[in-house]
Chains A and B, each alone.
Chain A
Amino acid sequence: MLSPISVRKAQVFVSDFAFSALIFLLLIGVSFYMYDSLVERKEYVAEMQNTLSIAEDISYKLLKHTGIPPNWNLDNLQSVGFADEENVLNFTKLYLFSSLPYEKGKYLLTSQETYEVYINISSANELWSYGIRPPLNTKEIYRVNRIGILNDSVVLITIYLWR
């Protein structure tokens, strides 16, 4: 039997609803946080892979590519390369290249302006280097080691890349 209209009450707030709303809001919050975090990780991985790709490209130029034209000089250089044959470096080309301004040389090596690069070639002693040394307080420096031959010595080539 219905109550008289005068004594019926409307429902504004119940505990079930409150609890459900709380859970919902928490889920939304966590989801946003997770999304943000995963995007950040994804961007990090992409950047690391991009860095790796650039470093591979630099090492390719050093060890596998003669450059275009093969006997390039600073006047006719189209694409830089330092190899006489696979993994054998041409010191004359390294010497020529090191006379280039850093920004230009960096761009020829990385095709980027946002990265910094430092290359060191050494055996028992340092034989050649190019670029600016990595600052100590830089968070992410990517390093690649390769091995080649320069001036009748087996040399270690270290390439540093950072932003």
Chain B
Amino acid sequence: MKGMVFTYDALIALSFFLFFIGSIFFIYNVDYYDDVAIMMGEKRNTYLAQDIIITLNAFKFEMLNESIKKNISQELNISDDLLNSKAISEILLLLWVKNKSYVIDDVFYSLYHFLPDIAQFNISIITSSNNVIISNYSFESDVVHTAYTYLTGYEENQEPLGYVAKAFATKIQKNTTKIYVLSPQGAANVDGWITITKYFYVNSSPDNITNAVFYLSLHKGQNTEDIDYVLINGNDVYSSVVWLWQIDSSTGQGAFGYVDIMPYLQEGWNTLQMRFRNPWFNAHIHPGSRIEITYSDDSFYKGRKDVEEYLYYEDIYSQETSIYGTGAWATMEYSIPLNSNINNVTLHLSLRGIENAGWWWSWDDWTWYNWDVRVYVNGNLIDEIRNPDFNMDLYYDLTPYTVPGTNYVVFYANTYGNRFLGDDYTHVYSDPVNDPYGSTYIYVNYTYNDNPILYGNIDITLNELLGGVAENPKSYDIDFEGKSLLSTYLHIAQIFSYTIGVDVNGNEVFASTFPRGIPSKIFIDPSHFIASGTNTITIEDGCSGCDYLPESSFEYTILIPSHVGYGNVFPSKDDAMRDAVQRLRNVLGRYVDATEIRNETASIGNIPYLYGPLKLAVSVW
């Protein structure tokens, strides 16, 4: 056999070889040298663009030659001494604003005359909407290196030079109101006495208190002696109560009045205690009982993103005198802003003197019951206790039942409707001064989703009586004059009540979930209101005779800025400062008096611009 020269193996190997050689030559022919040169050239152009921007900002008008300066001054119609400290970048912007863009070339080339020998370039001004406003040349390269400087904005046709000022209120005086609510609660039966004690903290010296009123809304007996006393820090003010409404009925008397308590208040913890009875039915508090204190204060707003508060019940001591039994019930409302996350809500009940009443007939529900304590949240029965301990500490996690807006807790201990099953006494224990954690309270913890920590603001709480006549339904109009709202509450005052519905500008914001489930204080999220224009609040009770008293009120807290920014340009510092102070006083309005104001002024050369920003861009290729 003869050897073969051109076998298939050889042919395959040859083709691989030729492919390999071809690939090598292809790769070899890529010009690395040019790539490196291009890379270095691009880096050079980047540096040039940056250097131009930096020098435009560093080079001052006063460093230009005299002829250029004279030309610019004439075109801008501004004297040299007002332009001297300005950077060339600002001069270019001024020329553009004044429609003198044809001067820009002269200015630029007088400085960068060597530039066309080493690179192509372009200058542009870009507004916040990102449109190129002015450009010397059109782009002629795909690869452009651009550097920017931000110049604060400029309003055309505005005289750019002079002084601007801003003002800060560093010390203030404001009148603000704090309201302490007594929610509906009771109940001593027939000739039994109920003693209600409320502890409230006044964060103001009595010298700064300008008004303090206690509104009483009671269901009591028809006789004067059915109220034993009304004490403020041990001072009996009962005889000073001005009764506005006293309506007798077969179940006693619904009474509403007020008393001035300002002379008796002290800074820190204060005590309100009243003892009364209702020989016709059970003695209890109606919607509308509250303490309103208006005081002068110098504090600024301190917002919190995470809010924790303990809402203490009043201490309720319901005493049986003869044979008609006793019991206690109480309501409490708590509110959660709409834009927040509910972390935890806990109810602690500290009950004393609870009897095991066995089976008993409910006239209200027309059925037999054998519970002794019941707890409702927003109309939901969450617990029912039979065979209770005489003294009990009960804890309930209300978090799953809590909703954004107003929440309402009601508990009954040895009483329900017109049944009073306790013996001797029933005591809802609460002493937040000496025993806060042993007291009856609702603990509320939520976190705002948005950041409410609005530093530099002043919070003011105002409370306006709805006024008018006692009626149902009742409407109230309010215009917030553009102010920011922090919180809003409605305080209901009624002699008799059944159910309640509240709407704002035609939208329902609250409806009671079960009869007689009337909170005294209803939270309305500020988002339901419009900042400017008339807002209409309407309240309506399901019972036609259950009028809302004119002493119902609307409480709202507004936020007012404590400073104003730069305003218009003035030829002198004093004028600018006077303008800033006046603008600050206008913002503070009738709500706040600035007792100390700090000014900051700036000449246009230092902080020239009031609006903006614009970008000055230099592109090099």
A-side residues, CB < 8 A to B, are 14-16, 19-20, 23, 26-27, 30, 34, 37, 41, 44-45, 48-49, 52, 59, 63, 85-88, 122-124, 142, 144-149, 152-154, 156
Docked pose: A30 CA to B28 CA in angstroms? 12
Interface positions of B from 1 to 32, Cβ below 8 Å from A: 3-5, 7, 9-10, 13-14, 17, 20-21, 24, 28, 32
B51 and A146 contact, CB distance less than 8 A: yes
* Contacts known (A15-B5, A20-B10, A156-B114); A87 close to B54, Cβ less than 8 A: yes
A34 and B36 contact, CB distance less than 8 A: no
B394 interfacial contact with A, CB 8 Å: no
Please name the residue on chain A nearest to B43 by beta carbon. Answer: A52
Inter-chain contacts of A48 with B (CB < 8 A): 36, 40
Return B11 CB to nearest CB of chain A, in Å: 10
Docked pose: A49 CA to B114 CA in angstroms? 27
Inter-chain contacts of A148 with B (CB < 8 A): 51, 55
Please name the residue on chain B nearest to A15 by beta carbon. Answer: B5
* Contacts known (A15-B5, A147-B112); A86 close to B58, Cβ less than 8 A: yes
Inter-chain contacts of A14 with B (CB < 8 A): 3
B47 and A146 contact, CB distance less than 8 A: yes
Docked pose: A142 CA to B36 CA in angstroms? 12
Return B618 CB to nearest CB of chain A, in Å: 10
Docked pose: A26 CA to B13 CA in angstroms? 13
Inter-chain contacts of B24 with A (CB < 8 A): 30, 34
* Contacts known (A44-B32, A87-B51, A156-B118); A149 close to B59, Cβ less than 8 A: yes
Docked pose: A3 CA to B118 CA in angstroms? 86
Docked pose: A121 CA to B5 CA in angstroms? 72
Interface 0/1 of B41-62, CB less than 8 Å to A:
0011001100110110011000
B3 and A15 contact, CB distance less than 8 A: yes
B63 interfacial contact with A, CB 8 Å: yes
Could you list 22 A-B pairs, sorted by A, with CB under 8 Å?
Answer: A16-B3, A16-B4, A16-B7, A16-B10, A19-B10, A20-B10, A27-B17, A30-B21, A44-B36, A48-B40, A52-B40, A85-B58, A87-B55, A87-B58, A88-B58, A123-B114, A124-B113, A145-B119, A146-B48, A147-B115, A148-B55, A154-B111
Inter-chain contacts of B113 with A (CB < 8 A): 124
Return B543 CB to nearest CB of chain A, in Å: 78
Inter-chain contacts of B9 with A (CB < 8 A): 16
Docked pose: A20 CA to B10 CA in angstroms? 7
Number of interface residues of B (CB under 8 A): 35
B366 interfacial contact with A, CB 8 Å: no
A59 and B47 contact, CB distance less than 8 A: yes
A147 and B36 contact, CB distance less than 8 A: no
B102 interfacial contact with A, CB 8 Å: no
Please name the residue on chain B nearest to A86 by beta carbon. Answer: B54
Residue of B3, B5, B14, B114 with most chain A CB atoms under a 10 A cut-off: B114
Inter-chain contacts of A16 with B (CB < 8 A): 3-5, 7, 9-10
* Contacts known (A19-B10, A34-B24, A34-B28); A149 close to B44, Cβ less than 8 A: no
Docked pose: A85 CA to B58 CA in angstroms? 9
Inter-chain contacts of A37 with B (CB < 8 A): 28
Docked pose: A24 CA to B422 CA in angstroms? 112
Inter-chain contacts of B48 with A (CB < 8 A): 145-147
Return A39 CB to nearest CB of chain B, in Å: 12
**At the interface, is chain B mostly helix, strand, loop or mixed?**
helix
Please name the residue on chain A nearest to B60 by beta carbon. Answer: A152
Inter-chain contacts of B137 with A (CB < 8 A): none
Inter-chain contacts of B63 with A (CB < 8 A): 149, 152-153
Docked pose: A45 CA to B3 CA in angstroms? 51
B52 interface neighbour in A26, A44, A147, Cβ under 8 Å: A147
B33 interfacial contact with A, CB 8 Å: yes
Return B448 CB to nearest CB of chain A, in Å: 43
Docked pose: A124 CA to B47 CA in angstroms? 21
* Contacts known (A15-B3, A86-B54); A154 close to B112, Cβ less than 8 A: yes
Docked pose: A48 CA to B41 CA in angstroms? 12
Docked pose: A55 CA to B23 CA in angstroms? 37
Return A138 CB to nearest CB of chain B, in Å: 16
Inter-chain contacts of B32 with A (CB < 8 A): 41, 44-45
A63 and B51 contact, CB distance less than 8 A: yes
Return A112 CB to nearest CB of chain B, in Å: 18
B118 and A27 contact, CB distance less than 8 A: no
Inter-chain contacts of A52 with B (CB < 8 A): 40, 43
Besides A44-B32, A124-B113, A142-B40, 14 new A-B residue pairs in contact (Cβ under 8 A), listed by A number: A15-B5, A16-B9, A20-B10, A26-B17, A45-B36, A48-B36, A48-B40, A52-B40, A85-B58, A87-B51, A123-B114, A145-B48, A145-B118, A146-B51
Docked pose: A26 CA to B20 CA in angstroms? 11
Inter-chain contacts of B58 with A (CB < 8 A): 85-88, 149
Docked pose: A90 CA to B219 CA in angstroms? 90
Return A78 CB to nearest CB of chain B, in Å: 26
- The 4 A-B pairs with the shortest beta carbon distances in the complex, nearest first, are A147-B51, A152-B63, A154-B111, A15-B5
Docked pose: A142 CA to B40 CA in angstroms? 9
B10 and A154 contact, CB distance less than 8 A: no
Inter-chain contacts of B47 with A (CB < 8 A): 59, 144-146
Inter-chain contacts of B114 with A (CB < 8 A): 122-123, 156
Return B16 CB to nearest CB of chain A, in Å: 9
Inter-chain contacts of A124 with B (CB < 8 A): 113
Inter-chain contacts of A153 with B (CB < 8 A): 63
Inter-chain contacts of A145 with B (CB < 8 A): 44, 47-48, 118-119
B7 and A149 contact, CB distance less than 8 A: no
Please name the residue on chain A nearest to B88 by beta carbon. Answer: A154
Return B10 CB to nearest CB of chain A, in Å: 6
Docked pose: A60 CA to B111 CA in angstroms? 22
Docked pose: A63 CA to B52 CA in angstroms? 13
Inter-chain contacts of A15 with B (CB < 8 A): 3-5
Please name the residue on chain A nearest to B14 by beta carbon. Answer: A23
Docked pose: A152 CA to B63 CA in angstroms? 5
Inter-chain contacts of A149 with B (CB < 8 A): 55, 58-59, 63
Docked pose: A154 CA to B24 CA in angstroms? 50
Please name the residue on chain A nearest to B5 by beta carbon. Answer: A15
Please name the residue on chain A nearest to B10 by beta carbon. Answer: A19
Docked pose: A149 CA to B28 CA in angstroms? 45
B44 and A144 contact, CB distance less than 8 A: yes
Docked pose: A145 CA to B63 CA in angstroms? 23
Docked pose: A95 CA to B355 CA in angstroms? 103
Interface positions of B from 34 to 87, Cβ below 8 Å from A: 36, 40, 43-44, 47-48, 51-52, 54-55, 58-59, 63
Inter-chain contacts of A85 with B (CB < 8 A): 58
Inter-chain contacts of A45 with B (CB < 8 A): 32, 36
Docked pose: A144 CA to B32 CA in angstroms? 20
Inter-chain contacts of B52 with A (CB < 8 A): 147
Inter-chain contacts of B21 with A (CB < 8 A): 30
Residue of B43, B48, B55 with most chain A CB atoms under a 10 A cut-off: B55
Docked pose: A148 CA to B57 CA in angstroms? 11
Docked pose: A41 CA to B30 CA in angstroms? 11
Residue of B44, B48, B54 with most chain A CB atoms under a 10 A cut-off: B54
Please name the residue on chain B nearest to A22 by beta carbon. Answer: B17
B5 and A19 contact, CB distance less than 8 A: yes
